[in-house]
Amino acid sequence: MFVLNNKTVLQPGKSWQDENGLTHPGNWASAWSAEEKTAYGIKEVAIQAKPDDKFYWVSGPHIDGTWTSTERSLEDVKEVDDDGKAVLDADGNQVITLGLKSQWLAKTKKTANSLLAPTDWQVVAKAERDRAIDSNVATYRAAVITACTAIRKSITDITYPETPSDYAAANAKLEDDRTDAEKKIVSDHDANVAAVFTSFKALFDAPVDSDGKPTGNPPMYDWPVMGE
């Protein structure tokens, strides 16, 4: 990414106008030397790796190549306005934004249904005409249901720790104004909350051996394969 005078991003292949009103041709990035770019106040900024927007709300890249990221909520959020009043939908119900846990519980169920769908006809045939379900199909379908149950449990087992009763008061203070005990209350709880979020992200990581080589599927995607 090229930045002009630390405030404007320039696009290679596009012309641009300097502070004197002079328009420069679109081939400036390839035609100009590094010295010429520097003379005009142009520098190349490395863009940092973008945080995974599966887990974070992300904006950027900013002028310095960084991103701003905010953790998405694991739990469902009841939306309120700036005054703390409930935001209501057209039916008068409070708007609820689904957290990552609810989203992935639904996705897991949808995946299981899509894996079972091609062989659903055998279940119908069994019910309607007493046609025997192929043994390999029965085994596979049972494995899918077991996997779905296990994945959903791995999601629901992740829960935030209970907030200590004195956390809010301690956290409301500036750090320099907190007692040592209050600092410990805040740091311990924040660390526990961060660990929970890390545990959720770990569901998307494949297990590895001592050499760092994957030994299986990520827990969130650990589905059986027909015939295996």
Render pLDDT for 97-138 as a digit per residue (tens, 0 to 9): 999 999 999 999 999 999 999 999 999 999 999 999 999 999
**CA nearest neighbour of 147 among 92, 228, 201:** 228
Handedness of CA 148, 153, 154, 158 (dihedral sign): positive
pLDDT band at residue 77 under the 50/70/90 scheme: very high
pLDDT digits (tens, 9 = 90+) for 34-73: 999 999 999 999 999 999 999 999 999 999 999 999 999 9
Q: What is the mean pLDDT of residues 197-207?
A: 96
Quickly state the pLDDT bin for 227 (edges 50, 70, 90): confident
Residue 12: the pLDDT is 93
What integer pLDDT is reported at residue 118 of this predicted model?
96
- Flag whether pLDDT at 83 surpasses 90: no
Planar angle of CA 216, 222, 226, nearest 5 degrees: 100
Alpha-carbon span 172 to 165, nearest angstrom: 13
The pair phi, psi for residue 69, each rounded to 5°, is: -135, 145
pLDDT of residue 198: 96
- Model-level pTM? 0.82
Reference 103, options 214, 206, 204, 224; nearest CA is 204
Cα–Cα distance, 37 to 18 (Å, whole number): 12
pLDDT of the residue at 19: 86
Contact between residue 202 and residue 196 where contact means Cβ atoms under 8 Å apart: no
φ, ψ dihedrals at 83, nearest 5°:
-95, 5
Q: Percent of the chain scored above 90 by pLDDT?
A: 92
State the virtual CA torsion across 134, 136, 138, 140 in degrees, nearest 10. -150
Across residues 134-145, what is the average pLDDT? 96
Per DSSP, the three-state class of 216 is: coil
Please count the other Cβ atoms lying within 10 Å of the Cβ belonging to residue 87. Answer: 13
- pLDDT surpassing 80 at residue 221: yes
For the beta sheet containing 8-10, the strands, ordered from the edge strand earlier in sequence to the opposite edge, are 8-10, 2-4, 42-44
Looking at 51-165, list the stretches that DSSP marks H as alpha helix, in order from N- to C-terminal side: 100-116, 120-129, 135-156
- Whether the pLDDT of residue 228 is over 80: the answer is no
- In this predicted structure, the answer to whether residue 148 has a pLDDT above a threshold of 80 is yes
pLDDT band at 168 (very low <50, low <70, confident <90, very high): very high
